[in-house]
């Protein structure tokens, strides 16, 4: 499966949903992120619905698209995957929202975990791109302070993913990217920010 109509339609749908959004600091079109996630997971699955869900994984969380819209256009399986990947924005407290999301991953299937792991990998790559090419002030101004909290949260996510699916083929990569991220923060003297 290379480029089915369903995948093409999902890319179009995601591109329109994210059309006014940019990746933080670097400013390139946000839709590049789900495309990279699709690229990463395409090495490990050819399940069309999982590939489509990877393209749509942020549309409900970051736009006015609903889960019902996803189901109507792409089916129940895609909807269910996107649902688990979507943070509940009705929970105002960010820390509580992140904890609830983490709990959902403890019971998630391998399709969800594959997409989430690829999502984390690409986010680390982009954050490190910012750290390597922009000022500390731009990084802190965009991503906020309390770096230790960010490291703890990322570490917990990776631990939950590993405990839930030990044979996840992306675990070595996500762990390497996590260590690279921590080492770069230390090199830039940002661990105490």
Q: Give residues with Cβ within 8 angstroms of 159, minimum separation 6.
A: none
Q: Which of 20, 48, 49, 62 is catalytic?
A: 62
What is the spatial distance between Cα 32 and Cα 39, in angstroms, rounded to a whole number? Answer: 10
* Residue 48: active-site member: no
Q: What is the CA radius of gyration of the chain?
A: 16
Q: Which of 61, 69, 138, 173 is catalytic?
A: 61
DSSP-assigned states of every residue in 24-76: TTT--BTTHHHHHHHHHHTTT---HHHHHHHHHTTHHHHSS--HHHHHHHH-H
Q: Give residues with Cβ within 8 angstroms of 53, minimum separation 6.
A: 74, 77, 78, 81, 82, 85, 111, 115
* Residue 62: active-site member: yes
List, by residue number, the catalytic residues.
61-62
């Amino acid at each position: 499966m290379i480029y089915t109509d369903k995948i093409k339609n999902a890319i179009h749908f995601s591109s329109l949903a994210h059309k006014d959004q940019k990746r933080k600091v670097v400013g390139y079109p946000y839709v590049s992120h789900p495309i990279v996630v699709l690229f990463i997971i395409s090495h490990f699955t050819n399940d069309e619905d999982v590939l489509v869900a990877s393209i749509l994984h942020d549309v409900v969380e970051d736009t006015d698209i609903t889960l019902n819209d996803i189901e109507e256009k792409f089916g129940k399986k895609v909807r269910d995957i996107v649902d688990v990947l979507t943070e509940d924005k009705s929970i105002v407290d960010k820390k509580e929202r992140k904890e609830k999301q983490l709990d959902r991953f403890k019971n998630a299937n391998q399709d969800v975990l594959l997409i989430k792991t690829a999502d984390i990998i690409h986010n680390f790559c982009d954050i490190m791109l910012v750290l390597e090419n922009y000022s500390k002030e731009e990084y802190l101004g965009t991503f906020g302070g309390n770096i230790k909290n960010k490291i703890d949260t990322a570490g917990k996510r990776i631990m939950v993913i590993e405990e839930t699916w030990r044979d996840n083929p992306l675990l070595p990569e996500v762990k390497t990217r996590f260590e690279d991220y921590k080492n770069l923060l230390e090199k830039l003297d940002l661990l105490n920010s």
